[in-house]
Amino acid sequence: MSSPFEDVLASLIRHRGVLGCLVVGEADGLVVDANVQVGVPEHVVAALAAALYRRARLASQAAGLGQVTFLQLEAEGGHICAVGREGLVIVTLAEPRAHIGLIRGAMLASVEALT
């Protein structure tokens, strides 16, 4: 069964170094749709990344900084990026070699699909 996010996820996964991308419910942390490489624990990544995004959004609001536009976590083994809208979050998991600038642009363009 296809979802309305299939095209968005298909365009993100094509970027070099992207290991997976997911649309996740921000409140429940459950996967709405995902396109991930074999071995990526999508349910675990989804739950934790949604919680991270939610905390960042609340922190940004509390600090008077307004809405979170783009969240990037840089780790030893790669990146987790997230953008959100209307209670949904697009999460992208990428290798260190990935071009984060291109991924960021694609994710910000894709956020329009989260309606």
Partner 1 sequence: MRTHVAEPWVEVPLQHFVDDARVLFALLLHPNGQVLGQFGFTRAVDVMAACALAAGIHASAGQLGRELDGKPFRELYHSGRERQIFIGEVRTPRDGLIFLTAFGDDSSLGLVRVFFAALSTRIAAAVPARPAGAPLQSESLEQDLAHSLAVLFGKVPPAGDAGGSSSTRS
Residue 28 binds partner 1, judged by CB under 8 A: yes
Q: Which is nearer to partner 1, 8 or 89 (CB)?
A: 89
CB proximity list for 39: less than 8 A, separation 6 or greater: none
Q: Which two tokens stand for residue 32?
A: 């709405």
- Give the integer Cα–Cα distance in Å for 103 and 71: 12
Residue 43 binds partner 1, judged by CB under 8 A: yes
Residues in a beta bridge with 6: none
Distances (CA, A) of 106 to 47, 88, 98: 22, 16, 13
Residue 47 binds partner 1, judged by CB under 8 A: yes
Residue tagged 């209670």 (tokens)? 87
Residue 59 binds partner 1, judged by CB under 8 A: no
Instruction: Identify the residue among 10, 14, 27, 74 touching partner 1 (CB under 8 A).
Output: 27
| Stretch binding partner 1 (CB under 8 A), from 7-15, 50-58, 89-97, 102-110 | 50-58
Q: Rule CB under 8 A: which residues touch partner 1? A: 24-25, 27-30, 43-44, 46-48, 50-51, 54
